[in-house]
Each structure stands twice: as structure tokens, then as C-alpha cells.
Structure 1
Amino acid sequence: MATMTARLDRLRAVENGRPAHLHKFYRRNERFLIFGAKRHQYRNTPLNPTSVQALEDDLGVPLPPAYREFLLQLGPGAGPYYGIWGPEEIEAETEGDPAKPFPFTRRDAEQIYNAWYAWVHNPKPTSGGGPSIQAPGPTPGCIFIGTQGCSGVTALVTAGELMGTVWDVWLDASAWRPAKTAPASLESELYDLTTPIYLGPAPTFDAWYEAWLTRAEAELSPPGRTS
């Protein structure tokens, strides 16, 4: 977690410093380049053990260890998309029972991930965001930890075979898929500078968060240099 904290500090410093090589990408009246940072503004407040325990008690299930440690060391705020929610938002937005088993298996995750990976590499993919799998709503065995915008949310599995994995969810279609690396900026020129990071069919919270940091650092680095 110390490494993750240091990397987040570097992103914050670059964004606040607005280095010359990035000036042309900042839109008028926009303080940040990284997608979603306008909302979370790189703020993050570690939770104390009492608050984390209270969240677990309210949810009725222990949190996955990597995510629990994240809440204690970094805390809600800065993160992929529009940031990581705090306990109040998690409890308000989570729809199913987090203690009941998550309905998908590792085999389900592998099948939908492989279908999506093939779609990404198809020279002429079909329109839309690619293959996904439908889940009953409200979906048990998970909590929602942040919004991606519109009907998109990020889910963290809290019970079942895939406990600790992160999923992309589109609530309006009940569509689920193992989480891909979140975008950093939405500027196409910067986006193209980043080597794709494929997280596989069972992305963990820490791998998902670290991949976002890696993408953001690469896009904010001067040409020819990576962090």
C-alpha cells in the first residue's frame, strides 16, 4: 500500500503542476486531465479500524483483505473513474445481500472474459461495449464501490468463489463483465500512448487499482519517459 500511496502522490503532483508538455490537453476551465479527477480531486481519507468494522457489520460480511487494507491505508476518494466510494455511499447504492454467494463462477468469468478479449481483437468488432453476462437484480455477493458514469458501476465480490474480484456493471441492462483497466484521460492521443493492460478473468481490487495508476502515470509522463 505504501507504493500505491506514493504513486497516487505523483499523479496528484503532476496534475497540480500542469507540466508544459500537457498544456494543450487541458480543456478550458478544467483543472485536471485524468478522467473523474474533477470529482474526486485526488482526495483520499483513510478510515479507522472502527469505521471499517462498522461497515462490515452493516454489510454482514468481512471485506476482501486487499480492499480492507486499502480503506485503512489510503481510504475512499481518489481512484478509477469517479473515485472510490465511502461507507455511506456503498451502503446506499449496494442492492443485493453481500453475504450471500455471488452467482457467477470462475468458469463463467473465464468464458465471458475470453469472449470479450476476442471481441477487442476482432478487426471488425460489433458495435457496443462487447460481450457481457446478465445477472439477476439485485445481485447478491457483492458491493458497489464506485460509479463509472451513467448506469455504470464497479462491483467488488464479497462472497463466493470469486470473492475479492472486481466487475464492471451496467445496471440498466443487468450486464456484468470482469473489470478491465479503467481509462486515465479520455484524450485519444494520450490514450494511444498507453500499452493495454489486460487484467484477466478474475481481476483483484489491488490489481485493478494499480493498473489505473500505471495507465495514468504513462499518459501523464513526458514523451519518451515512463514513471
Structure 2
Amino acid sequence: MGFVCNGRYVLEPAAADEAEKYVNLLHDCMEETYSAIADPGFMVRRRAARDESIEEFMEEVNGPGVRCFLAYEVPRWTSQGGLSCAVGADIEWDAPVGLALSSLGPHEWESEMPVVPVVAGTRDLSQLYTRATTHGTGLGEALLRAVLADDEPAYLWYIGGNERAKRFYEKFGFQDEGIFGECGGIWGVPHGEPGQPLQTARMFRGGVVLQ
């Protein structure tokens, strides 16, 4: 357990038995993040596949080299109290407000993207989300540093139109490759449904080597 942002939040490694609350938070954050970007049925499909997402997380979090954290608010935190508010705090462990997961790429689905794959074993920042109420507090940076060492070579995929995320990652040394590919699977738009498919592009940091 580690307190961050002057004691405002606490970060804890996430485990497979926390899959439900991890996925619940993931879906809530996705809805906040992509409601103005994705097609109207995006979150309906995501939530309908909740059980599948839980199973995927349970498998992924136990994979080799995975780093995964959940973040929680410290009740009654004040800027004046700082870390003193965190000591002995009664944390709401069922109500996380942020998550991050990094793993070793490339992943199978990346072979369908119009880019050269990274060398096997390259660290991928697979997920980083925080609730909108925490934006601007430093929680995103704390979670990023929890799953990526400072200046560690890494890559990530972001959704086109999510300029806020792109600017955030650029602050920490990631550069946009700028080659967009159409999202597939649950990120795509089923035939006959309204809306345009989401696009995704890759960003790099450090000496990432391509195959």
C-alpha cells in the first residue's frame, strides 16, 4: 500500500479476486471517457460483455510481467492535513477511483493493425483510467508511475479523438506514431448499428524496437 498525491489517494496492487470491482470501474471510466467519441451502442456492448471482461482480467493479471494497481480516495482528506489525514483512514475498498495495468507486448490483436509490431517483451501500458472527479489531481501520473518505471521504454494505444489522453501521455515522453487503424471486436460497430468505428494509434516512449 502506498499513499500518493500528498495523501489524497492510496494505491494497492490489484489481484484476480478483485476482478469484478476492477471491471466495474473500468466500464464506468470508459463511459465517462468515450461517451462523446464512441457510437451510441458502445457501452451497451461493453456492459453486456461484463462476464467476459472479468474472465479476461483474471487471466491477464496473473500473466508474466504484469503490473496492476487500483487507486482509492482517502476519506476526509484536506490539502492542509496532507499525509496526516491518510494515517488510519477508513478506506472504501469497494469503491476504487482509478486503475492502471501494464503488460508485455505485443498482443495478438496488434497483428491486425497497419504497423510494424514491437519486439516481444516490450512493456505496454494497457490500461490507465481515473474517474472524472479525480482529473487534475495528479492521480493519473501516480498510477502511470506505479506500472511504468521512470523513462522505461514502453508503448500504448489510444483512441482517436481522445485528445486529453494524448496530451497527458506526451507530458511523460510518449510520441504519437500517427498511424490509425480501425478498432475491432467489442470496440467496433456491429453491422447495421449506427455510428462510426473507433480508430486507434500507437505512442512510444524510450528506445522501443520494432520487429
Interval containing the TM-score (normalised by the shorter chain): under 0.3
Structure richer in strand, relative to its length: 2
The TM-score normalised by the length of structure 2 is: 0.25
Greater RCO, CA 8 A, separation 6+: 2
The TM-score normalised by the length of structure 1 is: 0.24
